[in-house]
Amino acid sequence: MLQTSRPITTANGSGTNDGAMSFGDLLSKVVGLLRRQYPVMILAFAAIVGLACVYVFAETPKYTGRSILVVDSSKTTPFRAQQQQIVNAADLTMDTSGVDTQLEILKSENVALAVIKNLRLTDDPEFVGPGAGLLESIGDLIARVFGSDSDSDPAFRKLRKAYQRFDTRLKIERIGLTYAMEIKFQSNNPDLAARVSNGIADAYIADALQAKYETATRAASWLQDRISKLRDQASAAQRAVVDYKTKNNIVESSGQLLNEQQVTEYNTSLIQAKAQLAEARARLDRVNIIINNDKLDPSAIDTGTVSDTLKNDVITHLRQQYSDLANREAEWSRRYGPEHIANVNLRYQMAAIRRSIVDELKRIAETYKSDFQIAEARETSIQKGLDDLVKQSQSKNEAQVTLKTLESNAQSAQTLYDNFVQRYMESVQQQSFGITEARLITSATRPLRKSSPKTLLVLVIAAGGGLLISFAAGVLHDVSDDTFRTARQVEDSLQTPCLALAPLYNSPKPAIKVRRSKKDEQAAAERRQIIREPGVYSAISEAPLSRFSEAIRAIKVGADIHRSAKANRVIGITSTLANEGKSTIAYSLAQLVAHGKARTILVDCDLRNPTLSHKIAPKARAGILEVLSGKTKFDETIWTDPETRLDFLPAVMRNRFSDTHEILASNELQVLFEALRNHYDEVIVDLSPLSPVVDVRAMAHLMDTFVLIVEWGRTRPAAVERALVETPAVYENLSGVVLNKADVAILKRYERYGNDYYANHYYDETHR
C-alpha cells in the first residue's frame, strides 16, 4: 500500500539523509546541481553581466574634482595679544561634534545654492536638462511618472532641479580623525568638477565670514540699545544718591561723611585730653608727696619725676648751696664734732635752704594744679562735643543705610554700563577682523581620468554577483522543481517500478507528403478502418528504432513481467491528470502488441473526453455505449487497423452527461469485458484520469493491471500520491509508471548513467 507520509525526493533523485554528509556527498550534490541547472545559472549570469555591460556602455562618463579643506581652530591667530577677547571663541579647540557640525555646514543647502548661483549651474543642461546617464534617465522617468509639480515658477523649478542633481553628485567626508575634510564632486565635465569642488570650499569660507560679520553686527546693534538703557539707569541711580544726600543733609569729605569724620576727630582729641589730664595729675600728685614729706632731703629730690625742677634756677641754686653746706657739715663734724657751733650754724643754714626749696616747690605745685584743672576742663569739653556728635549720628543711621543701598545700586549700574561699553567696542573691532578657522590646503585640479563608471570594477562585481545570483537561482529553481524527472525519483516516491521514460516524439519528415482525399476517408470510414496520421500515433511503424518505440517496448516488457505473477490480459492505461499522453501511450502499446500477431483490441473507456476516438476513428457513429445499450452489435462497432489487425472499440459521445461512472460499473460492461477476455489475447483500455473523475474507480475491478502515465516535468508527486491513495485498487494492481513527454536533452542533466544509451548509437531520429 502506498505510504503518503514518506518523503518526496528532490529532482536529482536522491532521498533525504539523516546522517552527517561527507565532503564527497556534498561535492556530488553540488556537481549534480550544476549539471541539472546550468542553463538557468548561465542565463542568470549572462543577464547580470549583460546588465553590467549595458550600464558601463550606456552610462555617461563622470569625472571627480577633489579638494581638501581644513577647519583648525587651534592655529595661531594674529594680534592675539591685542585681540584676545575678540577671537577667544576661535581659540577653543574643536571636539568631534564641532568638526561634524562644520561638516554638515559644508553639506548644507545654503553653501550648495551659493555655488549654483556663482557658477550659474541653472543654465547648464547637465543640471537642469534631461538625465545624461542611464541611472539619471531612469530616475527622471520615475520622477515624471510618480512625482507631482505644484509650483508654477519655472525659475524656482530649475533651481530646485539643479540643487537635487548637485546634491546627488556631492560627497564630503572627514579624513580620519583630523580636521581635514575631503570635498568630491562628480560631473560630466572635468573642468566643471574641479571648479565646483573649489567653489564649495570658497562658499563655505565666505559663509563663515558672513556669519561672523552678521553675528557681530547683530551683537553691536543689540549692545547699542542696551547701552543706552544702561546709561539712563546709571544716571538715574547716581541722581538718586545726590538727591538723598541733599534731602538728609549728608555731607562727605574726602569720600567720608562729615559727621563720621568729626566723630573720628573728637575721639582722637578726647584720647589726647585724657592723656594730658593723667600726666598733669601725676605731676601734681608727685609734687604734693614731696612737699608733704617732713624729712625732705633737697639733694634727693626725684628730678625725673618733676622735670620742671631741672629748669628752675632757684631750686637748682638752692640745691647746690644745700649740697655744699651738707658736705661742709659732714667734714666739720668729723673734725670738730657734731655739736660744734659751726656745725650747728651750718645745720641752721641747711634748714633755711630746705624751707626755701619747699616754698619754691609749692609755687610749682600751684602751677601743676592749674595745668591739671585746664586739662580736666578740656577733657570735659571734648567729651561733651563727642556726645553731641554721637547723638546726631544716631539720628542719621537709618538715612545712611538707605544711602549705602542707593550708592550700591548706582555702582552696580555704572559697572554694568562700563562692561557693555567695553563689549560694544570689542564687537565693533571684530566686525573688521576678517578671519576664519577654515583654509583650503589642496585645490581641485582638472581630473585626467573618469571616476565613474569604473568598467573593470563594475564587471568584476557583476561577475562575482552574477556567480552568486546564478547559483542562488539554480538552487531556487532546483528546489522549486517539485515534479518527476527521473525513474529513480518515481520509484523512491511511489514505491513502484518505472517502466519507461517516453520522450517527446518528432515525426520524421516524409520525402513525399501523402494527402488523403475525402473520398478515401469516406471509404475508410465505411470499412471502419483506423486512420493513421503521420506522427506520434504512427511512431511504432514509422520509427521502430526510435526512443519512443523503445519506451513502448519497455512498457510491454514490464506488463509481461507482471503477467508471470498474475494473469493480466486486460491492461488499463490511466493518468493522474488530463493531457498527460495516456491515449497516445495506450494506442502505441496496442499497436506494438498487435505487431506481435497477438489478437489485440483497444477500448476507449474515457467517456468524459474520448480523445482517442476522435483521433483514429473520427467518423464513428456507434461505440461502446451503443453496444452496452443493445442498439448496435459488437461486430458493427469495431474499427480495425489494416496493417496490424488491431481492433478498436470507440466511444461516441453525442451529448455530455455526468453519470458515466454508473455505465462503467454496470453489469453490461462486465459481460462485455468477459467476452473480450475470451475473444482476444490482449485487451488494452484507455481510461479516464484519476483525479478529475471517479470513472476509473467504478471499473477498476475489470482490469487485471494498470499502467499509470505521468507527464515528465509537469505532474507533481503529491498529486500522484493523492490520486493513488484515493484509488487503492489501481495502486494494488499497478504494474508500473511511465514518465511521458520526457525531454531527453534535459534528462541527461538528471541521469548520467543513460548518456551512452541516449546517444544516437541505437536510434535513427531526432527528438527534443
Q: Cα 613–618–623 angle (5° rounding)?
A: 55
Q: What is the mean pLDDT of residues 695-705?
A: 91
Asked if the model's pLDDT at residue 135 lies above 60, the reply is: no
174 touches 181 (CB < 8 A): yes
Give the integer Cα–Cα distance in Å for 282 and 67.
101
Is the pLDDT reported for residue 5 higher than 50? Answer: no
Which pLDDT band holds residue 257 (cuts at 50, 70, 90)?
low
Does the structure show a pLDDT above 50 at 4? no
Q: Which of 91-100, 305-314, 322-331, 479-488 has the lowest mean pLDDT?
A: 305-314
Q: pLDDT exceeding 90 applies to what percent of the chain?
A: 21
**Which pLDDT band, with edges at 50, 70 and 90, does 569 fall under?**
confident
Which pLDDT value is given to residue 768?
Answer: 39
pLDDT value at residue 653: 85
Yes or no: say if 277 and 376 are a contact pair by the CB < 8 Å rule. Answer: yes
* Backbone dihedral region for residue 747 (phi beyond 0: left; psi -120 to 50: alpha; all else: beta): alpha
Nearest to 674 by CA among 640, 708, 701, 641: 701
Work out the pLDDT band at 738, boundaries 50, 70, 90: very high
Between CA 697 and CA 693 the distance in angstroms is 9
Q: What is the CA radius of gyration of the chain?
A: 68
pLDDT of residue 524: 64
Summarised one tens digit per residue, pLDDT across range 661-697 is: 888 889 999 999 999 999 998 999 999 999 888 899 9
The amino acid that residue 681 corresponds to is: D
Residue 148 has a pLDDT of 52
Residue 47: phi, psi to the nearest 5? -65, -45
CA dihedral 377, 379, 380, 386 (to 10 degrees): 150
Number of H helices, E strands in the chain: 26, 14
pLDDT average, residue stretch 58-78: 77
Q: Is the pLDDT of residue 7 over 60?
A: no
User: Cell for 637?
Assistant: 462497432
Cell numbers 561535492 correspond to 27
* The pLDDT value given to residue 12: 46
Reference 502, options 583, 391, 610; nearest CA is 583
Phi/psi of residue 14, nearest 5 degrees: -95, 140
- Tens of pLDDT, residues 319-363: 788 888 888 888 888 887 788 887 788 888 888 888 888 877 788
Q: Residue 67's pLDDT is what?
A: 93
262 in Cβ contact with 389 (< 8 Å)? yes
What are the beta bridge partners of residue 216? none
Cα 318 to Cα 299: distance, rounded to the nearest angstrom = 10
Residue 160 CB-half CA count within 13 A: 9
The alpha carbon of 203 is separated from its chain's Cα centroid by a whole number of angstroms, namely 30
Q: Where are the alpha helices (DSSP H) in 59-153?
A: 96-106, 109-119, 125-128, 134-146
* pLDDT reading at 15 higher than 50: no
Complete edge-to-edge strand list for the sheet that includes strand 438-442: 170-174, 180-187, 63-71, 438-442
Weakest-pLDDT range from 13-27, 280-294, 484-498: 13-27
Average pLDDT over residues 459-487: 87
In terms of average pLDDT, the best of 31-45, 105-119, 555-569, 752-766 is 105-119
For residue 249, pLDDT over 80 is answered with: no
Confidence of residue 1 (pLDDT cuts 50, 70, 90): very low
Q: Which of 657, 644, 556 is nearest to 600 (CA)?
A: 644
How far is the C-alpha of 165 from the C-alpha of 169, rounded, in Å? Answer: 6
* Least confident segment among 250-259, 277-286, 464-473, 528-537: 250-259
Greater confidence (386 vs 754) lies with 386
Where does the pLDDT of residue 140 fall: very low under 50, low under 70, confident under 90, or very high at 90 and above? low
182-241 pLDDT tens trace = 999 999 899 999 999 999 999 998 888 888 778 777 877 887 888 888 888 888 888 887
The answer on pLDDT for 308 being more than 70 is: no
Higher pLDDT, 153 or 465: 465
Confidence of residue 516 (pLDDT cuts 50, 70, 90): low
pLDDT greater at residue 144 or residue 448: 448
By DSSP bridging, strand 705-711 and strand 570-575 are parallel
| Under 8 Å between Cβ of 623 and 652 | yes
DSSP state of 93: P
H or E stretch including 175?
none
Beta bridge partners of 573: 686, 707
Give the list of residues 6+ apart from residue 190 with CB closer than 8 angstroms, or none.
Answer: 63, 65, 446, 447, 448
In three-state secondary structure terms, 324 is helix
Whether pLDDT at 16 is above 60: no
- Assigned C-alpha cell, 451: 571616476
Intra-chain end-to-end CA distance of the chain, in Å: 36
* Residue 593, pLDDT above cutoff 70: yes
Residue 676's pLDDT is 92
* Omega before residue 728 within 30° of 0, cis: no
Region 508-514: mean pLDDT is: 49
CA 5 to mean position of chain CA atoms: 47
Identify the burial level of 428 via C-beta atoms within 10 angstroms of its C-beta, where 0-12 means exposed, 13-18 middle and 19 or more buried.
Answer: middle
Which residue is associated with the grid cell 545654503? 110
Q: Which residue has the cell 490480459?
A: 569
Span 73-128, pLDDT tens digits: 655 444 444 444 444 444 445 577 888 888 899 999 999 999 999 999 888 888 88
445: left (phi over 0), alpha (psi -120 to 50) or beta: beta
Per-residue CA distances from 759 to 55, 488, 546 (Å) = 42, 20, 12
- Span 503-510, average pLDDT: 68
What's the pLDDT band for 565 if we cut at 50, 70, 90? low
pLDDT value, residue 131: 58
Instruction: Quote the CA–CA distance of 503 and 743 in Å, as a whole number.
Output: 6
Closest to 670 (Cα-Cα) out of 633, 708, 712, 703? 703
pLDDT of residue 332: 82
More confident: 702 or 245? 702
Q: How many CB atoms lie within 10 A of CB 542?
A: 19
pLDDT, averaged across the chain: 79
Q: Specify the range with the lowest mean pLDDT, choosing from 45-49, 587-591, 643-647, 651-655.
A: 651-655
Q: What is the pLDDT of residue 55?
A: 83
Q: pLDDT tens digits, residue range 619-669? A: 888 899 999 988 999 988 999 988 889 999 999 887 777 788 888 889 999
Is the pLDDT at 433 greater than 80? The verdict is no
**Residue 511 three-state SS:** coil
Distance (Å, rounded) from C-alpha 574 to C-alpha 580?
A: 9
Length of the chain: 768
How many Å apart are CA 480 and CA 739, to the nearest integer?
A: 19
Cell 600726666 belongs to 279
**pLDDT in the model for residue 161:** 87
